Amino acid sequence: MRKARRVSRHIDKGFEAPPVGWSVASYDPNALLDAFPSLRMRNGFQMAGYQFYDGANASGFVFAIPEDQCLPAPHEGFGLELSANGIATLSSKDEPTPEWIRPDIGSFLEGDGSPLSFFQAAIFIRELQEMGSFWHGCSWSTHEVITSATQIAKQKWEWKETQPGDWRPVVCQISAGLWQVVFYSHTGLGREQIVIHKDTFTEGYQFDPDEEVIALGEGGYVF
């Protein structure tokens, strides 16, 4: 999942940059669902995004909107605010934001109800939050999901928690309508680290993320 590095290669090969500043994204976020077959958008809704580009970096923000609507073009005073869990909310100084533009994508996701569908939702939302992002706009895309100790065997780690004996993702149903997804990832952004992710799904495929660094390595990188 080292997409930050892959994007830089695309730029070197003639990547067509988006307009400077805010714009309605030219890419189709709905196409990402093809990689997550256990999920689908609720009938009557689609996804669309805004992108911010400053000449070297970009960030993308995706929203759920009705199928018969299009995102309005950004205007003067247009902006976004990010919550602690990375959900973007539109803000405007001059014009009201349409109420049908919704940032809580998980509330508009449907699936087959299988454990796999909840794991796919955990990954899908994270990927979606950085769709259209590159360079300094990337964070999650530097992570690699860990499923085996062999993926981190070459690094010397300072463990803050007991080293897991089984690295495979776990999905469990705590009670009716309440699911939890637990998985591990590795990133070298800033410093080599291993992160445990605990996502609690309380309503459909909308979840509250809980992330904690459980090990630190000796190296790292910035970009």
Report the alpha-carbon distance of residue 46 to residue 172 in Å, rounded: 29
CB 145 within 8 A of CB 120: no
Instruction: Look at residue 1 and tell me whether its pLDDT is greater than 80.
Output: no
| Domain spans, the chain | 3-135, 140-216
Position 36 scores a pLDDT of: 98
Instruction: Look at residue 167 and tell me whether its pLDDT is greater than 90.
Output: yes
User: 33 or 87: which carries more pLDDT confidence?
Assistant: 33
Output the average pLDDT for the chain: 88
Identify the band that residue 134 occupies on the pLDDT scale cut at 50, 70 and 90: confident
Position 11 scores a pLDDT of: 42
Report the alpha-carbon distance of residue 205 to residue 220 in Å, rounded: 33
Taking residues 142-171, report their average pLDDT: 95
Position 108 scores a pLDDT of: 97
Sequence-distant (≥ 6) Cβ neighbours of residue 54 within 8 angstroms: 20, 21
